[in-house]
Amino acid sequence: MRISVIGCGYLGAVHASAMAELGHDVVGIDVDESKVAALAAGRPPFYEPGLPEILASATASGRLRFSTDIADAAGAEVHFLAVGTPQAADTGAADVSHVDAAFAALLPHLVEGALVVGKSTVPVGTAARLADRLAAEAGHASLAWNPEFLREGFAVKDTLAPDRLVYGVAKGDDHAASVLDHVYRAAIEAGTPRIVTDYATAELVKVAANAFLATKISFINAMSEIADATGADVTALADAIGHDARIGRRFLNAGVGFGGGCLPKDIRGFTARAEELGLGETFAFLAEVDAINLRQRRRVVDLAVADLGGSAIGKKVAVLGVTFKPDSDDVRDSPALDIAASLQELGADVVATDPEGIENARERRPGLRYASTMREALSGADLVILATEWNEYRTLDPEAAGRLVGERRVIDGRNVLDPAAWRAAGWRYRGIGRP
């Protein structure tokens, strides 16, 4: 099919590449010239495993092009809207101005029977509003809402082989569902569950999923606080309750909490939208989920200061990881980076390192000191904080690391190290909610 993808950020760049990989003829549109130039040259502007390969093969085959001119989207049968919906600084609501602008720019280029497909995470009600506008200004085209559930680090796999497909369509619009079935034929043939529903449900599925995941993480982090207060072990607790299939073990890892461009923003956007709908009280618990999450960062900072004998001033602290999760170079709302910056503000000599995120971290926190190697970060450190569970940090040898540091003190902000092995190597080990 002829497809356009409008917005080539994380979501759009992966989606455009994956659609071309599936054999479609794709044009990616973005207003950012440098991003378009990089993508057109087959270079992803961010780190995502597997993306360089499919981007390079799709651009080389001619099935994938990029442009800054929305007119190049003209003629496509399907147009995916994949622009960002950042958090508004004042209200916390999702800012849909980029969606509105992209949609308005696209309108004059829609051919007979074209399908506009929203992928961006939007406040419930947005699709119905856009559909009304479409009916008034381009009645020969139609709209579907098809939320995206890809995870950074697994974005290519999640797009090529999603665990479910959700189509929000207008009442009686069988055409939209059949067009999307065609787009996702490979996934459908592989048996991917597909839910066809209305616009509002499709929009809510996305925020409900992220709100639920955030709640799960904050639940276990709250349990980690009570574990710390009572000498219990939150990891064993998570293992035990996780065996209950109704609960499940995934997303029950206590630690520095969630960050990134999605979970924090989405729960705030969802709360703001619920308030607009008069349901502020019903969703007030999400503010608590947010508060528990942010408190985890403070807890780690407090723990670090206590470990350093009550003051961080002049102490060298090695922070392993700056990204919000491993296998990504994304530092948006990263707990690791916040912790590093807070300790620096308290007078510590902080050195942060990361396999992929230093460049982005430097842009966001230029005042922090960065080391390009773990060895340099660890060298002479009074305290080590594992803040992002990159594989090379989880598998760190306590004996070898011990020879580099000044003091054998470690805070395992992700509960991924083996406390017994680290203690046996002479380290003072502190986890989150672990005795």
Asked if residue 122 lies in contact with residue 203, where contact means CB atoms within 8 angstroms, the answer is yes
Nearer of residues 254 and 374 to ligand UGA, judged by Cβ? 254
**Residue 262 within binding range of ligand UGA, rule CB under 6 A:** yes
Q: What CA–CA distance (Å, rounded) separates 320 from 340? A: 10
Closest approach of Cβ 71 to ligand UGA, in Å? 29
- Residue 190, SS3? coil
Backbone angles phi, psi at 149, to 5 degrees: -120, 20
Q: Which stretch binds ligand UGA (CB under 6 A): 112-120, 257-265, 274-282, 364-372?
A: 257-265
Nearer of residues 149 and 285 to ligand UGA, judged by Cβ? 149
Judged by CB under 6 A, the residue of 120, 126, 142, 210 near ligand UGA is 210
Q: 409-412 and 194-197 as β-strands: parallel, antiparallel, unpaired?
A: unpaired
Nearer of residues 59 and 85 to ligand UGA, judged by Cβ? 85
**Residue 342 within binding range of ligand UGA, rule CB under 6 A:** no
| Neighbouring C-beta atoms of residue 97, cutoff 10 Å | 11
CA distances from 395 to 127, 152, 170, 391, 421 (A): 46, 22, 51, 6, 11
Kindly write out the interface string for residues 165-204 of this chain, putting x where it contacts ligand UGA by CB under 6 A and - elsewhere.
Answer: ----------------------------------------
Nearer of residues 315 and 355 to ligand UGA, judged by Cβ? 355
**Residue 255 within binding range of ligand UGA, rule CB under 6 A:** yes
**Residue 412 within binding range of ligand UGA, rule CB under 6 A:** no
CA distances from 195 to 115, 146, 165, 177, 199 (A): 18, 10, 6, 10, 12
**Residue 149 within binding range of ligand UGA, rule CB under 6 A:** yes
Asked if residue 307 lies in contact with residue 409, where contact means CB atoms within 8 angstroms, the answer is yes
Judged by CB under 6 A, the residue of 257, 269, 413, 433 near ligand UGA is 257
Closest approach of Cβ 266 to ligand UGA, in Å? 6
Nearest alpha-carbon partner for 434 in 225, 217, 250, 256: 225
Binding-site ranges for ligand UGA (CB under 6 A): 121, 148-152, 210, 213, 217, 251-253, 255, 257-260, 262-263, 324-325
